[in-house]
Amino acid sequence: MLITQEEIARAVEQFLKKGEVSWAWLGVETLPVNRTLAKVLKLPQAEGLLVTKVYSGSPAARVGLRGGENLQALGHRIYRLGGDVLLKLNDWPLRTPEELFHLVLSKSPGERVKLEIWRRGKKRYIAVKLSRRPER
C-alpha cells in the first residue's frame, strides 16, 4: 500500500526531531465485506473488514481479536471465515483494508484506539494499544 504525502511529512518531521521513524501497528490482515460475505456472516449490513489473519504477538492478538480459520468457497473465491469483522476504528467506518492501514498509520505507537467489531452475531467494543510496527 502506498503511503500518503501527509504520512511522509509526518515521518520526516518525526525523523528530524528524534532521528528515527516509528509507525503504529495493529497486526491484522483483512478483506472488505461484500454482500455475499455479509449474508453468510449474518451481518446487518454489507460493511466492515473481515479479519483473515491476526499476527502473533501483535496488539490485535494481545486483545483477543480473531482471524478466520475455516476455509469456505463462496462463488469463485475461497474465504477464511470465522474471524471478527472490524466495523469502526475510533467511530470511523471501515470499508477497505487501505482505510484501516492509513487510520493506523495516522496514530503513534502506544496510542489507544477503540474498535467496534462484530463477533458471533453481536457488536462488541475493544480498546487496543497500538505498538510499533516491526522491521521486516
Q: Is the pLDDT of residue 15 over 70?
A: no
Domain that holds residue 69: 5-132
The overall average pLDDT reported for the chain is 88
- The number of distinct structural domains making up the chain is 1
What is the distance between the alpha carbons of residues 99 and 58, in angstroms, rounded to a whole number?
Answer: 19
Residue 71: alpha-carbon gap to chain centroid: 20
83 versus 1: the higher-pLDDT residue is: 83
Confidence (pTM): 0.85
Tens digits of per-residue pLDDT, 48-99? 999 999 999 999 999 999 999 888 888 788 888 889 999 999 999 999 999 9
What is the distance between the alpha carbons of residues 73 and 85, in angstroms, rounded to a whole number?
Answer: 18
Residue 83 near residue 51, CB atoms below 8 Å: yes
CATH code assigned at 83: 2.30.42.10
Q: Terminal CA-to-CA distance of the chain, rounded, Å?
A: 15
Tell me, what's the pLDDT at 80?
A: 86
